[in-house]
Amino acid sequence: MRRQDMEWCVSMPKVELHAHLNGSVRDSTLIELARDLGEKGIIVFSDVENVIRKDDRTLHEVFKLFDLIHILTTDHYTVTRITKEVIEDFASENVVYLELRTTPKRNDSIGMSKRSYMEAVMEGLRSVSSVDVDYAPSGLKTDTSNGTTRKKIYVRFLLSIDRRESTEAAMETVKLALEMRDLGVVGIDLSGNPIVGDWTTFLPALKFAREQGLYITLHCGEVPNQEEIKAMLDFSPQRIGHACCFGEENWRKLKSLKIPVEICLTSNIRTETISSIDIHHFADLHKAKHPLVLCTDDSGVFSTSLSREYSLASSAFGLGKTEMFQLAENAIDFIFADEGVKEDLRAIFEVATERLD
Ligand code: 6MZ
């Protein structure tokens, strides 16, 4: 794509629905944190620096990297810092609605509970200064006190259950999500290394979440486990992430159920889950008008941005500006926030249509 078209992708309003907090940390922040821990003798900086700067990683290597990132980021102060930076980074490329997901973590050695982890996340959200943030269902109005309308981003949270967790730990996460609803927690995600854990372990917590009215999205089909994919589709989540390794029968089922798919192009290519962009299932789903949304997954780990994902889709699948704009706007239908937010977002896109013609 030409440079000016990339600029166009940046200026278009966008909706991000699949972004993992710890996967979206800036490289520069990770390097700075690693240097600090290196100086304290907790890690060997040069070993870590090479891992952070490495470009291509298999899916297996990505999960090893997350264990490393968590060593660097998981204290309350740093969780607050990365949350602030990640929200500001998305806002700076005109993401107008962000559903940020993160796994609440317990670490007794530093006095961290899942709740205090999430409180640190919320603190990060409140400390965002470069943009106005609407994060609670009641809504924070745009600051017009100095007579100018500032840029605004809607932020909602999904709490992730890691596939390494037990039924009890998953249930704790769901209960926490319910308690934090007033702070903008809208749903639950199931993620983590897809070859670890068994779907049935998480089912009681996911069922409970759904009964209580939380929305659910599942990482589904990152590896070719057709039995699990079928069980996940039978559960009827409101959205699924990836949908890479579906057999024919499950593919038909997905299409007939019309479950919206969060598509993460760069992530799938970098992790070699899909061998090349021209055979990516985006093309088939898009042609079939299946509900889908372009997302980053881990913009830090995969050195991407949502604008780049649009630009990539445009060059790989020949989408014009109208189609890209439509794709971005359609995502409003699949967000987990209420009708009022959807209406606000539609108005933002309406204004942008005139501006971006
Ligand atoms: C599955 C993924 C993932 O929660 O610590 N995560 N899970 N597939 C992926 N595709 C590459 N990318 C990220 O963010 C990092 C965590 O998100 C999940 C993993 O559980 C990872 O540890 P948080 O903020």
Both tokens of 353, joined, read 């249509």
Give the Cα separation of 306 and 212 in Å (integer). Answer: 31
Residue-wise pLDDT tens digits, 287-298: 999 999 999 999
Helix (H, G, I), strand (E, B) or coil at 130: coil
Which H or E run contains 239?
strand 239-242
Q: Which residues contact 9 (CB under 8 A, 6 or more apart)?
A: 1, 307, 308, 310, 311, 314, 324
Q: Is the ipTM of this complex over 0.95?
A: yes
Ligand 1: residue of 160, 266, 271 to mutate (most ligand atoms within 8 A of CB) is 160
Alpha carbon 131 to its chain's center: 20
pLDDT (tens digit per residue) in 278-320: 999 999 999 999 999 999 999 999 999 999 999 999 999 999 9
How many other CB atoms are found less than 10 A from the CB of residue 89? 19
User: How far is residue 23's CA from residue 102's CA, in Å, rounded to a whole number?
Assistant: 9
User: Tens of pLDDT along the chain (357 residues)?
Assistant: 565 689 999 999 999 999 999 999 998 999 999 999 999 998 888 878 877 877 777 888 888 889 989 999 989 999 999 999 999 999 999 999 999 999 999 999 999 999 999 999 999 999 999 999 998 776 554 454 555 567 899 999 999 999 999 999 999 999 999 999 999 999 999 999 999 999 999 999 999 999 999 999 999 999 999 999 999 999 999 999 999 999 999 999 999 999 999 999 999 999 999 999 999 999 999 999 999 999 999 999 999 999 999 999 999 999 999 999 999 999 999 999 999 999 999 999 999 998 776
- pTM comes to 0.96
Ligand 1 atom closest to 66 (CA): 22
Helices (H), the chain: 3-11, 27-39, 45-53, 59-73, 76-92, 114-126, 167-179, 199-211, 226-235, 248-257, 265-270, 282-287, 306-317, 321-330, 339-356
User: Ligand 1: which residues within 6 Å by Cβ?
Assistant: 20-23, 62, 66, 102-103, 160, 162, 191-192, 219, 222, 267, 271, 297-298
Q: Which residue's entry shows tokens 């704009």? A: 325
Closest among 56, 63, 62, 69 to 269, alpha carbons compared: 56
Q: Whose CA is nearest to atom 19 of ligand 1?
A: 192
Structure letter (DSSP) for residue 129: -
Residue minimizing CA distance to atom 20 of ligand 1: 192
